[in-house]
Amino acid sequence: MSDRIKHLTDQTFAEAVAHGITVVDFWAPWCAPCRELAPITETLAEELQGKVAFAKVNVDDYTPLSEQYDVLSMPTLVIFKDGQALDRIVGSLPIDQIRTRIQKSL
């Protein structure tokens, strides 16, 4: 994984999503669709560098965070703007669909 995507914890989450647009990938290592989505988020993190921050939360390690944001299926991408959840994408979608949803938040 590149250094463009931060791994968040319950300690770092609030600060990471507090300003600007942040896309948080709620995932688990055992989740096959999560592994399919990983290269897509890597590509988008590179494309949107400077406009959108990307982060990941391992739901097995930080279950209360996933519960707080009603993450029931994985992968779930939650798009935050200045600390508020604006949109969510559930499942591994094609890159063009994910890009379009993120760009609506800009």
Cβ atoms 5, 45 nearer than 8 A:
yes
Q: Give Cβ neighbours of residue 44 (< 8 Å, ≥ 6 apart).
A: 23, 52, 54, 95, 98, 99, 102
Of 5, 17, 34, 78, the catalytic one is: 34
Residue 63 in domain:
yes
Residue 103 in domain:
no
The number of folded domains in the chain is: 1
- What is the model's pLDDT at position 3? 79
Predicted confidence (pLDDT) per residue in 6-25, tens digit: 999 999 999 999 999 999 99
Mean pLDDT estimate for the chain: 95
Average pLDDT for 60-65:
95
* CATH code (residue 19): 3.40.30.10
Predicted confidence (pLDDT) per residue in 40-59, tens digit: 999 999 999 999 999 999 99
Residue 91 in domain:
yes
Cβ atoms 18, 83 nearer than 8 A:
yes
Which residues is 79 bridged to in the sheet? 23, 87
Residue 62 in domain:
yes
Please confirm, yes or no, whether 31 is among the known catalytic residues. Answer: yes
Residue 98 to residues 37, 40, 43, 61, Cα–Cα distance (Å): 10, 9, 11, 25
Residue 105 in domain:
no
Tokens representing residue 44 in the block: 């988008």
Of 28, 31, 38, 95, the catalytic one is: 31
Q: Would you say residue 38 has pLDDT above 90?
A: yes
- What is the model's pLDDT at position 2? 62
